[in-house]
Structure formats: C-alpha cells, structure tokens
Amino acid sequence: MEHKHHTVDYLELAVHDVAKAKGFYGKAFGWAFNDYGPEYAGIQKEGGGEVGGLNGTSDAPVGRPLLVLYSRDLEATRVAVVQAGGSIVREIFKFPGGRRFHFKDPSGNECAVWSE
C-alpha cells in the first residue's frame, strides 16, 4: 500500500474492549482485522493494507477518533507542527510497523503522524 506524504492515512478508534469492538464492527459492517495482540487490531483494507485500528491501550478518550497522517520525514514534520502552533502531547515512539508522535492542533484536536 502506497502512503502519501502529509495526507490522512489511518483512523484509530479508542475502545474499552478490542474483542467486543471487533465483534461489533465485524458483524455490523463485515470488517476483517489484523491482530497485533489482545489490545490492538488493525482494520483491513479490501485488497490489502489497513485503513485504521481499534486501540484498547490508547490514552485518548473513548469516543474521539485519532486521525493519523503519514510523513516521509517524521522529525521534520514534528518541527513543522510545533512551528505552526501545535503542541506535542506524545513524543516520537516505536510501534509495530513504524514510529509516530501525537500532537494537538490550536483547537485542541489530538492527531498523530507516523512514518515507516
């Protein structure tokens, strides 16, 4: 799956119970998942790849999806976010498949940026 620089790439939902959320979305919409352990499941995209995830370990409040953008240069994007007036709420960290950081925009919306 090709990722495009600085575009919306992924939508993550904070959930209380990953297994229960998988059951709901699977039954209601026919979604399939990639399991990364008991606390995270990627939402499969038809034809390969993922379009989002169910995060049972997220610090984000349930009910607020996490918009995730892609970057070819994570460090440069982090600098640009801060220079534009955003605030970093979670520094760059590793996860299976890459690295990411979280920020808040000037309105208080939490988003994330990831890179391979």
Q: Quick one: which of 9, 14, 52 has its CA closest to 33?
A: 52
The answer to whether 52 and 10 have CB atoms below 8 angstroms apart is yes
Tell me what pLDDT residue 1 has.
Answer: 66
Tell me what pLDDT residue 87 has.
Answer: 94
Averaged over successive runs of 10 residues, the pLDDT of the chain (116 residues) comes to 88 92 91 94 91 85 86 96 94 95 90 95
Q: Let me know if domain 8-115 sits in CATH 3.10.180.10.
A: yes
Beta pairing partners, 115? 99
Tell me what pLDDT residue 96 has.
Answer: 87
Tell me what pLDDT residue 102 has.
Answer: 96
Query: Which tokens in the block code for residue 15?
Result: 């959930």
- Rounded-to-5 percentages of helix, strand, coil across the chain: 20, 40, 40
Domain parsing of the chain, residue ranges: 8-115
- The pTM assigned to this predicted structure is 0.79
